[in-house]
Amino acid sequence: MLRATNRFIVIFLSILSLTGCALFTTHYDAIRHENFTKLQAFHVKFINDYTEGGPKQWSKSEIDKVCDSGDLKYREALVYAKSKDNKDGTGERAVSILKEQFEDDCKFLIKRGKSFGKAWAGEHLEQIKKNYGYAIAGELSRVGKPE
* Model pLDDT for residues 71-86, shown as the tens digit of each residue: 999 999 999 999 887 7
Position 60 in a domain: yes
Amino acid at 25: T
Segment 15-28 mean pLDDT: 55
The string of DSSP codes covering 60-119 is HHHHHHHHHHHHHHHHHHHHHHHHH--SS-HHHHHHHHHHHHHHHHHHHHHHHTSPBPHH
Q: By residue range, what is the domain housing residue 112?
A: 2-140
* Model pLDDT for residues 45-57, shown as the tens digit of each residue: 999 999 999 999 9
Position 53 in a domain: yes
Kindly report the CATH number assigned to the domain that includes residue 102.
1.20.120
Position 107 in a domain: yes
* Model pLDDT for residues 98-140, shown as the tens digit of each residue: 999 999 999 999 999 999 999 999 999 999 999 999 999 988 8
Report which of residues 2 and 114 the model is more confident about. 114
Position 35 in a domain: yes
* pLDDT at residue 66 is higher than 50: yes
Position 145 in a domain: no
Q: What is the domain count for the chain?
A: 1
Position 147 in a domain: no
Residue-level pLDDT at 75: 97
